[in-house]
Amino acid sequence: MPNRYDIPKYAKACVLTEPGRFEIRDDVEVRLPGKHEVLCKIRAVAICGSDPEIFRGDLAGTWPPAYPFVAGHEWAGEIVAVGEGVTEFHVGDRVAGEAHKGCGYCDNCKKGRYTICLNYGKTETGHEHYGFIVNGAYGQYQTYSIRSITKIPDPVSFEEAAMCDTAGVALHGLELSGITPGGTVAIIGPGPIGLCAMRLAKAMGAARIIVIGRGSRLSSAQKLGADICVDFTKEDPVEAVRRITGGLGVDEAFECSGAKGTFNQAVRMVRKGGKVVLLGVATDDVVEELPFKYVTHNEIAIFGSRANPNVSWKVLNLMATGQLNVKDLITHKFPLENFADALDTFVNRKENAVKVVILPNGEI
């Protein structure tokens, strides 16, 4: 029986070979950690909404820059080897990952805003974007910078910790606007990020959450804790929010869908002095017309929110204390060998799939 920390020379990974094609290989070299890096055995990795376009090759040349490539960035696992200069982490530590590693020295990185690193994409500066620009977590092992990992508190499982990225994306957006204690929040788009935003807004003191969506995802939101659900196929969401809030509008609105028209709706459903946060990733062709004077005269603040800087420890602690439940957002689990089924389940929302998790080293 090999020790759980024995490091094989080669391991299994889901390898993208060209746009739209991938295969499960068992001959992918396991890279040993360099300075300030650790080698992790990946225990759980969740499929992200951004993964399907990487698999299709919609952004080939950028994400990924070249083939073969290993995607995946929402992972948790355990450290099996540490590189030179690593003092805070040890073999056996359970850690959760982040996709972004800033260069560390640009003006934005120095301010802690490393997901908008000024050296984005220039790996020679030390910038890395795991699963997008450099190889990621859809495999049994991967090396990571210690900047991109956070220790997992004991009560949190690997599967839950794989939700650290999604929950962190939501929390970063909520931190940008703040949440009004006792206030009302609107969430547009009850996907995994929207559902995490819904729960985190409650944890941060919001009194009422209105979720706007349709179909099975809206029913999920209802089951998972939304106070009021608005089906946009049946009712104009701006009118509905105005009606629910007695004409006032919500304190904060979080756009989590990236769909056309929803930015404008978010602006029109917040109260005077309200805040709009854009978390959904729209495609380049989504261009919105906004009411210029309305935004000015009502002092509506608009925030773009990218990824999850400096929040991993916060969401992991909220998971550990039960203030953020993510267990019921994980609807499906698959071994790495069944990656095609996993992707199909996620993309086509089969069996009301919300979050689909891959277990590259088998059941935990």
Residues that bind Zn ion (CB under 5 A): 48, 74, 102-103, 106, 109, 117, 119, 165
CA–CA distance, 7 with 14 (Å, rounded to integer): 19
Q: In the complex with Zn ion, which residue's Cβ is closer, 130 or 263?
A: 130
Nearer to Zn ion, 74 or 252 (CB): 74
Smallest separation, CB 103 to Zn ion (Å): 4
Q: Which two tokens stand for residue 181?
A: 């204690």
Cβ distance to Zn ion smaller for residue 117 or 170 = 117
Tokens of 113: 């805003």
CA nearest 355: which of 86, 145, 123, 167?
167
| Residue type, position 263, single letter | F
Could you tell me the smallest distance in angstroms from the CB atom of residue 208 to Zn ion? 28
The Cα 236–Cα 249 span in angstroms is 14
Q: How far is the CB of 46 from Zn ion (least distance, A)?
A: 8
SS3 316: helix
**Which one, 119 or 219, has the nearer CB to Zn ion?**
119
What is the rounded CA–CA span in Å between residue 91 and residue 14? 25
Nearer to Zn ion, 99 or 210 (CB): 99
The secondary element (H helix, E strand) that includes residue 358 is strand 355-359
> Which positions ≥6 away from 24 have C-beta within 8 Å?
12, 13, 14, 15, 336, 337, 339
Q: Which is nearer to Zn ion, 33 or 126 (CB)?
A: 126
**Phi and psi, residue 210, nearest 5°:** -105, 125
Q: What's the min distance (Å) between Cβ of 172 and Zn ion?
A: 12
Considering beta carbons, is residue 106 or 171 the nearer one to Zn ion? Answer: 106
* Helix/strand/coil percent split, the chain, to 5: 30, 30, 40
Least separation in angstroms between residue 49's CB and Zn ion is 7
Closest contact distance (angstroms) between CB of 73 and Zn ion is 6
Judged by beta carbon, residue 109 or residue 137, the one nearer Zn ion is: 109
What residues are paired with 25 via a beta bridge?
A: 13
Task: Please give the single-letter amino acid code of residue 176.
Answer: L
| Least CB distance to Zn ion at residue 165 (A) | 5
Burial of 135 (0-12, 13-18, 19+ CB in 10 A): buried
**Min separation Cβ 141 and Zn ion, Å:** 20
| Rg of the chain on CA atoms, in Å | 20
Q: What DSSP designation does 50 have?
A: T
Distance separating alpha carbons of residues 97 and 79, to the nearest angstrom: 11
